[in-house]
């Protein structure tokens, strides 16, 4: 039996048991799980292994690539600028980034970037992962593109380029690259062990990601004009690339954040706690309200599944994620199953980060098991 380490309140015994069961069965390789209830960390668990050979244990300071959970931190950065009055999410992107107005995008607003409704959900061909690493060039290419659908009419998940788009707005407004903004204005003040990319000094404690089973999309059958095809091939990303030095050195605010459940919960619990974490104010209540302005509700053009978007975060939609209840909740997660949920009604934050990626588009069976166990424990 694999040891699960950390602490938890007795009422969350079933949460710990679920994590222990998944690690023992091999469904989980290594993982961390945190529940913050009104500023009280009532679950802080970790266990398993950092490597497939099961020779390196997942310890308290293990971090991993959290894929699109990174987007929740990038959105937080933009909303902090909005809270300060430096950024208007209802203003045209071109107010802050004039080049973005090219090819009919002059009326695309910042909220459209934050809600995946801008029409620019990837790089036009040719597109490679290496293109994404050249932040200036790839971002300029996106600014020059024509939208792939009428902006604001539907969401099309900005899978790999969300950080390029929102991050460029953050840079233009704050004068800081996204990676630096997160380090200096979010993770640093909160003492959160999270970074966009990963400093080489930290590579020795990273749990390499283990890719999921092959995706179910038949890109050939969908056709080259499909937004799904354009998004998922603009560029194609092999999950193994997350374990490479080039990926870790990049500033990819959509997909290459490195942290664990504790650090992600530390930052994002600001939303559930009213905007302030242990005296560090990130947002005010009015800005948090902005998140819940619904921007899209329907089949996402980039993923082909129903999604409901506010400004910066997904909103509950039972047909998409049945184990997230209705209410004043915002959330998102990463490819393979990582998940961060902020339940404002309960002042609750649930954070789950792992290295063995599961199948599916949003969350995984494991994510659902843990989240359901948390809500069952709360009654």
Q: Write out the DSSP string of 277-299.
A: ETTEE---HHHHHHHTS--EEEE
For residue 65, the 8-state DSSP code is E
φ, ψ at 330 (rounded to 5°)? -130, 155
Left, alpha or beta for 279 (phi > 0: left; psi -120 to 50: alpha)? left
Q: Supply the pLDDT for residue 214.
A: 84
Q: Which residues contact 77 (CB under 8 A, 6 or more apart)?
A: 166, 167, 170, 178, 181, 182, 185, 186, 253
Q: Supply the pLDDT for residue 221.
A: 78
Starting at the edge strand that comes first in sequence, how are the strands of the sheet with 348-354 ordered?
A: 4-8, 40-48, 30-37, 348-354, 339-343, 329-333
Query: Total domain count for the chain?
Result: 1
| Strand 257-259, strand 63-65: pairing | antiparallel
Q: Which residues contact 158 (CB under 8 A, 6 or more apart)?
A: 113, 116, 118, 120, 121, 122, 165, 231, 254, 302
Element (H, E) at 68: none
Q: Which string of b and e fits 289-306 if b means at least 16 CB within 10 Å?
A: ebbeeebbeeebbbbbee
Q: Supply the pLDDT for residue 1.
A: 67
φ, ψ at 216 (rounded to 5°)? -90, 0
Q: Judge if the upstream peptide bond of residue 126 is cis by omega within 30 degrees of 0.
A: yes
CATH number at residue 198: 3.40.710.10
Q: Supply the pLDDT for residue 219.
A: 74
Do 148 and 120 form a contact (C-beta atoms < 8 A)? yes
Rounded to whole angstroms, the Cα distance separating 20 from 4 reads 6
3-state helix, strand and coil shares in percent for the chain, rounded to the nearest 5: 40, 20, 45
Q: Is the full-model pTM beyond 0.85?
A: yes
- Give the residue ranges of the chain where pLDDT is below 50: none
Helix extents (H) in the chain: 13-25, 70-83, 110-114, 129-133, 135-144, 162-174, 178-181, 188-190, 219-222, 227-232, 245-249, 261-272, 285-291, 365-378
Helix extents (H) in 51-205: 70-83, 110-114, 129-133, 135-144, 162-174, 178-181, 188-190
Rounded to whole angstroms, the Cα distance separating 34 from 265 reads 7
Q: Supply the pLDDT for residue 218.
A: 73
Range of the domain at 62: 4-378
Do 146 and 255 form a contact (C-beta atoms < 8 A)? no
């Amino acid at each position: 039996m694999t040891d699960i380490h950390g602490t938890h309140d007795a009422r969350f015994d079933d949460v710990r048991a679920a994590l222990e069961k998944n690690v023992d069965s091999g469904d989980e390789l290594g993982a961390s799980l945190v529940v913050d209830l009104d500023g009280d960390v009532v679950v802080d668990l970790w266990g398993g292994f950092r490597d497939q050979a099961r020779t390196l244990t997942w310890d308290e300071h293990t971090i991993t690539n959290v894929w699109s959970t990174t987007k929740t931190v990038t959105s937080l950065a933009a909303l902090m600028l909005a809270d300060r009055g430096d950024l208007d999410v209802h203003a045209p992107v071109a107010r802050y980034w004039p080049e973005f107005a090219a090819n009919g995008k002059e009326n695309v607003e910042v909220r459209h970037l934050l809600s995946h409704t801008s029409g620019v959900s990837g790089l036009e061909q040719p597109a490679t992962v290496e293109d994404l690493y050249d932040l200036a060039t790839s971002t300029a290419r996106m600014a020059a593109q024509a939208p792939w659908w009428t902006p604001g009419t539907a969401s099309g998940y900005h899978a790999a380029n969300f950080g390029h788009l929102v991050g460029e707005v953050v840079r233009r407004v704050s004068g800081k690259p996204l990676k630096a903004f997160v380090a200096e204005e979010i993770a640093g003040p909160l003492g959160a062990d999270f970074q966009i990319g990963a400093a080489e000094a930290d590579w020795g404690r990273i749990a390499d990601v283990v890719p999921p089973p092959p995706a179910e999309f038949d890109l050939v059958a969908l056709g080259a004009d499909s937004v799904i095809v354009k998004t998922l091939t603009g560029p194609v990303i092999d999950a193994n690339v997350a374990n490479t030095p080039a990926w870790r050195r990049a500033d990819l605010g959509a997909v290459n954040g490195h942290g664990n459940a504790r650090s992600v919960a530390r930052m994002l619990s600001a939303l559930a706690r009213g905007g302030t974490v242990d005296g560090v104010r990130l947002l005010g209540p009015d800005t948090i309200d902005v998140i819940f302005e619904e921007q899209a509700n329907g089949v996402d053009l980039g993923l082909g599944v129903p999604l409901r978007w506010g400004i910066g975060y997904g909103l509950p939609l039972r047909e998409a994620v049945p184990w997230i209840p209705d209410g004043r909740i915002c959330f998102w997660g990463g490819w393979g199953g990582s998940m961060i949920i902020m339940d404002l009604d309960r002042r609750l934050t649930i954070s789950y980060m792992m290295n063995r990626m599961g199948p599916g588009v949003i969350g995984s069976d494991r994510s659902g098991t843990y989240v359901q166990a948390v809500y069952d424990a709360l009654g």
